[in-house]
Amino acid sequence: METQSAARHIACIMDGNGRWAQQRGLPRTFGHKAAEHAIETVIRTALEEGIPWLTLFAFSTENWSRPQEEIDSLLDTGCQILRRRVHDWHRAGIRVRGMGEETPRIPDALRQELQYAQQLTQHNRTMTLTVAVNHGGRSEIVCAARTLIEERVPAEEVTEESFAQHLQNPDMPDVDLVIRTSGEYRLSNFALWRCAYAEFVFPEVQWPDFRAEHFRQALELYAQRRRRFGGATASIPHPRSAQPQPPVGLTGSLPSLSNVLSLPGGIATRLGGHLLSGLYDTARYAKSQLEVRSEPRM
């Protein structure tokens, strides 16, 4: 049977802050402030699930086209979140990194806060939290091309591997799973190179309402995906065996295995599948035994 390895790198396109606020009759900036709770929740849940790389898309190269007042509020909110949380993250073993093109448009306070966070947490290895500010997938690729040219790398030495080594944060693995909230189904210029074979989950909730259960649901959906990277399908599961229906009497919601056993979501989902099919076999056997016993004796 094909098995799906656990996600190493999860990226969140944190979308829907503005609509979240507008739906409540509030200014859009309130939505950016309300994003902090979801950010904390995702980081904590990713730690619990043993995810080694988490990337949060916070501000794109295109977001400069917003009204200056909103830009100021967004970047200031980001700066305050970093300032408030960085020591907790450090204690949790998180390495903080920035990702995005340097520009004087980024306020000094935010730049300094990011630099401080990176320096403080540089030796941590439990999880790498990358915060994408002034990030654009195309700009990232152009910067890598520029560096290759500046280093006078001969054309025949430019390969996918050497190119990737010239991206910012070259040790960062490809993105396995992109979660974009708010029901928008697009990349919006996020990490184009590293998302070449990413899986996607698009929860409908606005980012400020994103919670641990949404994150775990996304992990469970990811665990059911079969990534082929261009290869052939090894086997096609029978439609009925792929989605076993619970036997009569075994309905209602059960606590999630990852909650009960504190297992990473991917492992818990696969384990759950095995346990459930074992349970069905046992139920079928018990039923057949009862039928044998209840047959009239001669």
Q: How far is the CB of 14 from ligand IPE (least distance, A)?
A: 5
Q: Is the CB of residue 49 less than 8 Å from the CB of residue 219? A: yes
Selected binder of ligand IPE within 7, 11, 15, 85 (CB under 6 A): 15
Label each residue of 178-204 as H, E or C. EEECCCCCCCCCCCCCCCCCCEEECCC
In the numeric block, the tokens 């591997």 are attached to 161
| Selected catalytic residue, list 17, 63, 134, 176 | 63
Q: How far is the CB of 205 from ligand IPE (least distance, A)?
A: 12
The closest alpha carbon to 178, from 208, 150, 203, belongs to: 203
Tallying the residues shown for the chain, one arrives at: 298
| Selected catalytic residue, list 15, 17, 134, 176 | 15
136: burial class by Cβ within 10 Å (0-12, 13-18, 19+)?
Answer: buried
Residue 16 interacting with ligand IPE (CB under 6 A): yes
- Identify whether 15 is a catalytic site residue: yes
Residue 29 interacting with ligand IPE (CB under 6 A): no
Q: How far is the CB of 108 from Mg ion (least distance, A)?
A: 26
Binding mask 151-190 for ligand IPE (x = CB under 6 A): -------------------------------x-x-x-x--
Q: How far is the CB of 18 from ligand IPE (least distance, A)?
A: 3
What is the C-alpha to C-alpha distance for residues 95 and 117, in angstroms, rounded to an integer?
Answer: 8
The listed partner (ligand IPE, Mg ion, none) that binds 137, CB under 5 to 8 Å by sort, is: none
The listed partner (ligand IPE, Mg ion, none) that binds 186, CB under 5 to 8 Å by sort, is: ligand IPE
Binding mask 58-97 for ligand IPE (x = CB under 6 A): xxx--x----------x-----------------------
Q: How far is the CB of 211 from ligand IPE (least distance, A)?
A: 17
Selected binder of ligand IPE within 6, 7, 11, 14 (CB under 6 A): 14
Residue 203 interacting with ligand IPE (CB under 6 A): no
Choose between 74 and 179: whose C-beta lies nearer to ligand IPE: 74
- The residues pairing with 96 across neighbouring beta strands, listed in sequence order, are 129
Choose between 180 and 270: whose C-beta lies nearer to ligand IPE: 180
Selected binder of Mg ion within 9, 15, 58, 144 (CB under 5 A): 15
- Identify whether 63 is a catalytic site residue: yes
Report the interface residues with ligand IPE, using CB under 6 A.
13-19, 57-60, 63, 74, 182, 184, 186, 188
Active site residues: 15, 63
